[in-house]
Amino acid sequence: MTTITDPPQESFRLSMLLNDTRYRSYTLQFIALILICLFFAWLISNALRNPTLQEIGISFAFLGEAANYDINQRPIPYDSQDTHLRASFVGVLNTLIVAFLGCIMATILGVIAGVLRLSNNWIVARLMAIYVEAFRNVPVLIWILIIFSIVSNALPAPRAFRGEDATASMLFDAFAFTNRGIYMPKPIWEPGSMVVVLTFFASIFAIWAYRRYATKLLYDTGRLLPTFWPSIGIFFLPTLIIFFIMGQPISLEYPELKGFNFGGGVQVRGSFIALWLALSIYTGAFIAENVRAGIQAISKGQTEAAASLGLRPNRIMNLVVLPQALRVIIPPLISQYLNLTKNSSLAIAVGYMDVTGTLGGITLNQSGRALECILLLMLFYLTISLAISAVMNVYNNAVKLKER
Amino acid sequence: MAMTDDAIAHMDAKVSDEVAISIENMNKWYGTFHVLRDIDLTVYRGERIVICGPSGSGKSTLIRCINALEEHQKGAITVDGTLLSSDIKNIDTIRSEVGMVFQHFNLFPHLTILENCTLAPIWVRKIPKKEAEETAMHFLTKVKIPEQANKYPGQLSGGQQQRVAIARSLCMRPRIMLFDEPTSALDPEMIKEVLDTMIELAEEGMTMLCVTHEMGFARQVANRVIFMDDGQIVEQNEPEEFFMNPKSDRTKLFLSQILGH
Amino acid sequence: MSDTSVAFVRTESIPPSAPPTAESGVIKWVRENLFSSVTNSILTVLSLLAIYYFVFQLVGPWVANGIWDTDSRRECLERLQGETGGCFSVLTQRWHQLIFGRYPLDAYWRPTTAFILMIVAFAPVLFASLPRQLLIVTGLFPFIAYWLIWGGTILSPLSVLVGIILGYVVYSRLVDRSFATGFVGGILVAVAFWMIAGLVLGENPPAILALPEVESRDIGGFMLNMVIGVVCLSLSLPFGIALALGRQSSMPIIKFFSVIFIEFIRGVPLITLLFVASVVLAYFLPPQANFDIIVRVMIMVTLFASAYIAEVIRGGLAALPRGQYEAADSLGLDYAQSMRLIILPQALKISIPGIVNVAVGLFKDTTLVSVISMFDLVGMIRGPIVSTTDWQGIYWELYGFAALLFFVCCYGISQYSQWLERQLQTDHR
């Protein structure tokens, strides 16, 4: 019987702090910690000695004071007598609006461009390549400014719509593209409209349920129901029927020329359109590349194997290629959404009042509380980033391919 | 290769007069490169044909043309009486008659083994899921891996994956099986398990076209060996004659290279 | 039963022949690539219409009727008489502002020389086939470029250079003992030299080889984008490498701080960091020291770029096979040696395409400085040019020019990165 003796217990020597693998890393980390603390202490001591900061101190009380400025796009009621806090909140909502709509539009553009870039139509594939390269290689700020100058310079002024010899005309008598933004019909919700809206959401749910039922029927009996036309039918019919049964409770208020400007309807401002379009087209170019890479990552063998089993091209796409490609596409897609959200802070260049424009712009300038405003601004963006990363991690873990 | 002559008891399965595949004067070009030249081949039901030849000789392209994975530009391919054309109905008919096994398995990594096997029967043959699963389990048992049914392809060894690929094709109940170098991507110790599965299939009378360099398999199972070079059929014969008494110089050279060591 | 006459031997080989006529030539190409199906035909026609409209209706006449030699937009409009046409005179009249900002007219040769030197300095880094001796230019470039662009005596950049060389000499002497000793020793010697040099030279160093000084705020236009881009990218490389190693480190405290830093920087938009540079950073720097805005912006942009570079390099480190780390350990190399000699050279090589992508992104992002009232290319257009009465109302020509300039640079860099990727792929096999 053998015993493994422990190595002789050395007594602790100071040199072991540097040379013994057991202590070395503690020493190094300790030194690093001290250096980092010293660095921060230096920063803070500078701040304490700064004359401006000594004078005004650090306080968040300004958030409760009246903002005294107007915001041109207000998703919630707001006037200039409301507090800076409420102004910032309006800014946050505006950021979220443009980011959300931008992500949707960018996804649509990106998926179309990415798929078309792989098309066997030479000219379409080339055009999409030009789109992708043109937008990826020019700063997004320049695109925002270009689109903003299209909206505010190339479109006619509202008065061009006036009179007998109007040089501009409204699209379908409902949309007016002017240099002050786009005017479009505004829905008027009358009593009973809730029923129509609920029916609409119920029919979307019904489409989902129908498709599930169709798959289940195929699994159980081998009968394959058509899905495309029934889905279209379910989407439109019930809502339309309820709409007329309820006596058309939703009507549209059309924009009309009143004097030199349009009245009624909804005005979508040029700054919003420029920012939204530029961000979507720019991010769309990046998404197109991700989509293309994702589809190309699925080897030709997968398609061939599915084809040799007798599956038709559209089923190969739905059952074999897409489920695999999505795993490759979605993580970079989400980080593109994150980039778009961060880039939406460029709103300040065209005067769209997002959170950077309110909290980081006018509030900062009026209150002079730079440190506090920027801290809050960073916190807001950090929260969004971390939330999106968390979603991404959950997704990645959920779809990870099982391997040995 | 590894088998000694004693071990080779040549299989004596029935070959009928019924034509399974007939290829007449078929030509194929990749751009201006002439890959397949004047291929004439008639395969009878129950035949087990091994196609060999140096790489780039067009043997894989030939069997991929039979399955319409590649288009041919001249000549006619008839499978089970269906003339292969660009008509999608014809292609569907032929593909559901013909099973194919690839060098790199090409299992669907996002589906379990069982789902791999039931996907096509459900969506193409419209067989109820339960029935399709029973069929799948039957064939998985036949290739001796029923216990892996709920795992994913990435969790299996290469040999196991290739056997699943065979089972997946069999689930469509094909009358003809095409094998495109089914053992080339496998480690030596896994080759035998795949070959055994193929031998068993041959014993049951399946019509098989097999691109392979496993000469032992060819001797034991094939009733015809075809040697291709430069996009043309250079020599074909019964395995015994083919190996003992090759006629063409190119065949001799190829056999000496492949059996020489 | 099967026929017994299976035996067949080909006696003469079939020569290759040309494909059938329908299978080659222009007609086949057009049929397969443009009109292979109804949908494709529709798409083709639509694309051709779009191209026709864009080229012959919009851009074509605009460029063809363009006017290059007037003094104001008004004159342009008079000459055009209501026809479509660009007023490119603004480019010929104001090109110096667009490229150099308010840099003194008589000193344009200085940034131009610096630009040419930059190409020479980057060449050996970008193309491994060029002679290695050119790297000397790369090493000297930062100091010469500083001297050329900002002017002043050559003594200040020279003393910085000498300090670095001294530090390096000490480092290479001591590195045999241990990396840490060499590193710390090198830094100490360099800092000591700089302090002595500072004391000796004093506030107003003797004007040896002195060029007229140029204020930072006069540097503008596209040149400012270049300066910020190049300086910040070069500075962010060492920081990025350190952060990547920190994030991969097994020491929890170091890893923690690296992760916090990287995730913080990547989580906020660059604009907020630029706001920090313009209004907050001054609070945290010594009150007596007067850092001008360009330096503060460079600090923040460098921090920004290092976080992204760190993530790219981390990817490179993770892509290296485990065996490389184990091999390095088993040879008895310590951490610094194995990183310096084995791991980093390979990881950096894998990361080059990613780094180039970060470079393109960073270069594009330099336009954001216009938001904090600096006059880079975009700032120049939005500020001093469009606000003059002569050129008020001109947008397309200016933004088009800016877009083209950035496109040429960024597309060039990304093509280089793709070329390099192909090159590396063949190298590895």
Contact between chains at C13 and B232 (C-beta distance less than 8 A): yes
Contact between chains at B34 and C16 (C-beta distance less than 8 A): yes
Q: Does B232 touch chain C (CB under 8 A)?
A: yes
- Measure Cα distances from B100 to A47, A317, B60, B105, C210 in Å: 74, 20, 12, 10, 79
- Using CA atoms, how far apart are residues A361 and A229, in angstroms rounded to an integer? 51
Chain C nearest C-alpha distance from A32 (Å) = 7
CB contact set of A76 (below 8 Å; sequence gap of 6+) = A89, A90, A93
Per-residue pLDDT of chain C (429 residues; tens, 9 = 90+): 444 457 788 877 888 888 776 656 777 778 777 887 888 888 899 999 999 988 888 888 888 888 888 888 888 888 888 777 788 888 888 888 888 888 888 888 898 999 999 988 888 888 888 888 888 888 888 888 888 888 888 888 888 888 889 998 888 888 777 777 888 888 888 899 888 888 887 777 777 777 888 888 888 889 999 999 999 999 999 999 999 999 988 888 899 999 999 999 999 999 999 999 988 888 888 877 778 889 899 999 999 999 999 999 999 898 888 888 888 888 878 787 888 888 888 888 888 888 988 999 999 999 999 998 889 899 988 888 888 888 888 888 889 999 999 999 999 998 988 888 887 776 554
At A5 the pLDDT is: 57
For Cα atoms B121, B122, B123, give the angle at the middle one, nearest 5 degrees. Answer: 100
- Nearest chain A alpha carbon to C279: A370
Among the partner-chain residues A309, A312, A402, the one whose CB lies closest to the CB of B172 is: A309
- Nearest chain C alpha carbon to A338: C267
Short-list C360, C361, C379, CA closest to C369 = C379
Contact between chains at B169 and A309 (C-beta distance less than 8 A): yes
Chain C nearest C-alpha distance from A324 (Å) = 22
**Residue A224 with chain B: CB contacts under 8 Å:** 123, 126
**Residue C266 with chain A: CB contacts under 8 Å:** 385
Contact A264, A255 (CB under 8 A): yes
**Residue B222 with chain C: CB contacts under 8 Å:** none
Residue A10: pLDDT over 70: no
Chain C nearest C-alpha distance from A250 (Å) = 37
Q: Does B243 touch chain C (CB under 8 A)?
A: no
- Using CA atoms, how far apart are residues B247 and A6, in angstroms rounded to an integer? 75
**Backbone region of residue C67 per phi and psi (left: phi > 0; alpha: psi in -120 to 50; beta: other values):** beta
Strands A250-253 and A186-189: antiparallel
Indicate the range of A173-182, B38-47, C67-76 predicted with least confidence.
Answer: A173-182
Q: Which chains touch A (3 or more CB pairs under 8 A)?
A: B, C
At B15 the pLDDT is: 75
- Using CA atoms, how far apart are residues B151 and B137, in angstroms rounded to an integer? 13
Contact between chains at C279 and A364 (C-beta distance less than 8 A): yes
The length of chain C is 429
Query: Could you give the residue ranges of the DSSP H alpha helices within chain B?
Result: 59-66, 88-97, 113-123, 129-142, 158-170, 188-203, 215-221, 239-244, 249-259
Chain A nearest C-alpha distance from C409 (Å) = 8
**Residue A140 with chain C: CB contacts under 8 Å:** 364
Chain C nearest C-alpha distance from A124 (Å) = 7
**Residue A403 with chain B: CB contacts under 8 Å:** 152, 154-155
Residue B3: pLDDT over 50: no
* Mean pLDDT, rounded, for A351-361: 88
For a pLDDT cut of 70, what percent of chain A falls above it? 91
Q: Does B2 touch chain A (CB under 8 A)?
A: no
Contact between chains at A146 and C399 (C-beta distance less than 8 A): yes
CB contact set of A260 (below 8 Å; sequence gap of 6+) = A158, A159, A162
Q: Does A245 touch chain B (CB under 8 A)?
A: no
Which of A223, A227, A298, A309 should be substituted to probe chain B, the one whose Cβ sees the most B Cβ atoms within 10 Å? A309
- Nearest chain A alpha carbon to C365: A139
Burial of C115 (0-12, 13-18, 19+ CB in 10 A): middle
CB contact set of A313 (below 8 Å; sequence gap of 6+) = A307
Contact between chains at B155 and A403 (C-beta distance less than 8 A): yes
Chain C nearest C-alpha distance from A51 (Å) = 8
Angle formed by the axes of helices C252-267 and C293-319, to 10°? 120
Contact C407, A143 (CB under 8 A): no
Chain C nearest C-alpha distance from A153 (Å) = 8
* Mean pLDDT, rounded, for B158-183: 93
Q: Which chains touch B (3 or more CB pairs under 8 A)?
A: A, C
Amino acid at C87: C
CA A126 to chain centre: 28
**Residue C17 with chain B: CB contacts under 8 Å:** 34, 37
Contact between chains at C17 and B34 (C-beta distance less than 8 A): yes
Residue A167's pLDDT band (boundaries 50, 70, 90)? low
Q: Which chains touch C (3 or more CB pairs under 8 A)?
A: A, B
Note the ipTM here: 0.88
- Nearest chain A alpha carbon to B70: A304
- Using CA atoms, how far apart are residues C318 and C289, in angstroms rounded to an integer? 41
Contact between chains at A307 and B155 (C-beta distance less than 8 A): no
Among the partner-chain residues A32, A346, A382, the one whose CB lies closest to the CB of C254 is: A32
Contact between chains at B102 and A305 (C-beta distance less than 8 A): yes
Chain C nearest C-alpha distance from A170 (Å) = 22
Among the partner-chain residues A28, A123, A140, the one whose CB lies closest to the CB of C44 is: A123
Contact between chains at A385 and C378 (C-beta distance less than 8 A): no
For Cα atoms B85, B103, B60, give the angle at the middle one, nearest 5 degrees. Answer: 40
Residue B13's pLDDT band (boundaries 50, 70, 90)? low
* Mean pLDDT, rounded, for B149-159: 91
Which of B80, B108, B133, B156 should be substituted to probe chain A, the one whose Cβ sees the most A Cβ atoms within 10 Å? B108
Contact between chains at A401 and B119 (C-beta distance less than 8 A): no
Chain B nearest C-alpha distance from C41 (Å) = 19
- Using CA atoms, how far apart are residues B223 and A152, in angstroms rounded to an integer? 80
At A50 the pLDDT is: 82
CB contact set of A326 (below 8 Å; sequence gap of 6+) = A294, A399
**Residue C8 with chain B: CB contacts under 8 Å:** 233, 235-237
Short-list B58, B62, B74, B64, CA closest to B24 = B74
- Using CA atoms, how far apart are residues A292 and C179, in angstroms rounded to an integer? 46
Among the partner-chain residues A301, A311, A404, the one whose CB lies closest to the CB of B106 is: A301
Chain B nearest C-alpha distance from C420 (Å) = 29
- Using CA atoms, how far apart are residues C277 and A312, in angstroms rounded to an integer? 58
Q: What is the DSSP letter of A87?
A: H
Short-list C125, C194, C121, CA closest to C164 = C194
- Nearest chain B alpha carbon to A324: B110
**Residue A310 with chain B: CB contacts under 8 Å:** 92, 95-96, 120, 124, 172
